Amino acid sequence: MSAETKEKPATNEGFSGEQKSYLEGLVSGLQAKRAASGLKPIGEGGGGAPVGPDAEHLKAQSKTEASGKKLVDPEKWKREEHPFDAYARLNEQAAKNEYPKPADNFRWRYYGLFYVAPAQDSYMCRLRIPNGILSAAQFEGVARIAEDFGGGYAHVTTRANLQIREIEAANAVNVVEGIQELGLTSRGSGADNIRNVTGTPTAGIDPRELLDTRPYAKSWHYHVLNDRSLTGLPRKFNVAFDGAGTVAALEETNDIGFSAIEVTEGASVPAGIYFRLVLGGITGHHDIARDTGVVLVPGDATKVADAIVRVFVENGDRTNRNKARLKYVLDDWGFDKFLAAVEEKLGRKLDRVDTGHVKPRAEADRMAHLGVHAQKQEGLNWIGLVLQTGKLTVDQMKGIAAIARDLGDGDIRLSVWQNLLISGVPDEKVTEAVSRIEGLGLSTKATAIRAGLVACTGNTGCKFAAANTKGTAEAIATHVESKLELDKPVNIHLTGCHHSCAQHYIGDIGLIACQVPVNDDGDTVEGFHMVVGGGTGGNAKIGRELLRDVKKEDCPQKVEQLLRAYLANRQDEDELFFS
Ligand code: SF4
């Protein structure tokens, strides 16, 4: 601003009558908007800081309050102060090396920070990485942050994301801001927000894909990041985009799943590639997302997802955390009523296509996220690395970044299978890339047991866990590999509590942690209940419980017995596990 401009008084003097009336109208319109959003009027010290939640939330919350039911604590905390208005206090706590009390512990999750005591007396920070794809420089940057401010390692999560652990309170802001300086963010990756947007990890390079999910995942990611009224939902919310590629994105486990399909001639819409909309996936509550029959042109995905979320924001249950997910609105209303509300928000009807006009989709290849695979770009390959239930040291991360930069196209692609792919590796550089990966103590080849081995954080880092999930997963893999040779991959998912971050209900074999009673005095030891027969993709289904209270140390043998029973009793090699 020039000195001349600065000197002009901020009044309406010097304007014509018409200009003055325009300005007055503008100001009164702004005042009305601020009032509706819970902001102080201009001129009353409102500054830029909103007080209380956003307008959309107030509307939704007043509906809940009108029900006369008691609000849960997180809802009270949301009303007291929007977490994005409390960043100065996070800074103050970091300056004092102080961890938060429960209300702020909830709020800091809006910044991706989770204080995880008593499992670890430190923060965990979870990023947001749309479609799970980041550059080698960003990946190396995350490694440096984990080295300087965390425990020297990171985990690839089941939402194709990264988590840094063992962050001291003093370093909380360093981590949040360090991530932003890399062109990444951790915003909204925890609490009642829309979580990391997943997509097909081989998007844009997969010879089989119907469409490249990256632009749609990115569009939704930035839409959510830049609209505060899409934060503070009744509970967390998951959205996934699947391009019908070789590696599954597991969209059927999300609140909203967009599955690429090909519509044939004679349908109610022109033949071509669309997203089919599935809704209400939440496997921990025994539900796979259900097909709505709705199809949409891919470019409409963000608009439609926005309308769905807003219907949920207004009507989700804010008085019972166990019933606060989208599934319960769908169960209460039925799909017809819900979709009618979405159409009202959108201001138009959605297209429906019957399954008879949709070409069947090929099943995902359960091994394609590992090893060397030809891309649709001639002469180029993706290489999938095996990680031990997602864990990477910072040295391994730096080494992977260097390989992606030196020998690949510079992208690192995380998958929901807790592993990563390096893409764009020319044929003549594959051998060197594999050898450098092995030099990092990692591998590109997995046994049929390890390829689909997934485990949540467990009790070494999560206060909700009843047992050590990652350690038990490793013990199962080591034991079964020494006893059995399987002729097809098997998915084994271990989860530490009912939150089901590792989605045990969709595993061929799923384990959920529990405390196993060992005597009449109430003493317990770590253990698991076992579920069998879950599935994904075209075979998506919730498994059924088979065994209860198996002690942790007995799990490897029990899994071996289950697999032997399957091998002995199946009709043929194509029979699904425990179907
Ligand atoms: Fe923690 Fe439970 Fe999620 Fe495992 S499933 S990471 S124990 S919240």
Alpha-helical regions (H) of 151-300: 172-181, 214-225
Q: Is 463 in the pocket of ligand 1 (CB under 6 A)?
A: no
Q: Is 116 in the pocket of ligand 1 (CB under 6 A)?
A: no
Output the CA 468–ligand 1 centroid distance in Å.
11
H or E stretch at 438: helix 430-439
**Cα–Cα nearest to 420, from 411, 429, 428:** 411
Q: Is 279 in the pocket of ligand 1 (CB under 6 A)?
A: no
Q: Is 462 in the pocket of ligand 1 (CB under 6 A)?
A: yes
pLDDT per position in the chain (579 positions), as tens?
Answer: 333 333 333 333 444 455 445 435 444 544 444 344 444 343 333 333 334 455 556 556 667 766 777 889 999 998 899 999 999 999 999 999 999 999 999 999 999 999 999 999 999 999 999 999 999 999 999 999 999 999 999 999 999 999 999 999 999 999 999 999 999 999 999 999 999 999 999 999 999 999 999 999 999 999 999 999 999 999 999 999 999 999 999 999 999 999 999 999 999 999 999 999 999 999 989 999 999 999 999 999 999 999 999 999 999 999 999 999 999 999 999 999 999 999 999 999 999 999 999 999 999 999 999 999 999 999 999 999 999 989 999 999 999 999 999 999 999 999 999 999 999 999 999 999 999 999 999 999 999 999 999 999 999 999 999 999 999 999 999 999 999 988 888 999 999 999 999 999 999 999 999 999 999 899 999 999 999 999 988 889 999 999 999 999 999 999 999 999 998 888 877 777 776
Contact criterion met (CB below 8 Å) for 425 and 406 = no
H or E stretch at 260: strand 256-263
How far, in Å, CA of 149 to CA of 182, rounded? Answer: 15
Cross-sheet strand order for the sheet of 153-156: 113-115, 123-126, 162-167, 153-156, 391-393
Ligand 1, atom 4, residue with closest C-alpha: 496
How far is the CA of 351 from the CAs of 243, 296, 358, 361, 452, in angstroms? 19, 7, 13, 20, 36
Task: Please report the ipTM that was assigned to this predicted complex.
Answer: 0.99
Buried b (16+ CB within 10 A) or exposed e, 22-58: eeeeeeeeeeeebeebbbeeeeeeeeeebebbbbbbb
Among all chains, which residue has been given the structure tokens 């981590």?
Answer: 175
Tokens standing for residue 4 = 């001349």
Say if strands 544-551 and 509-517 run parallel, antiparallel, or are unpaired: unpaired
H or E stretch at 293: strand 290-296
Cis peptide preceding 118, ω within 30 of 0: yes
Mutate to test the pocket of ligand 1, among 155, 462, 498, 531 (most ligand atoms within 8 A of CB): 462
Contact criterion met (CB below 8 Å) for 482 and 560 = no
**Cα–Cα nearest to 236, from 418, 499, 577, 30:** 499
Q: Other C-beta atoms within 10 Å of 457: how many? A: 27
Length of the chain: 579
- Write the CB contacts of 443 (distance below 8 Å, at least 6 apart in sequence): 385, 386, 437
H or E stretch at 471: helix 469-483
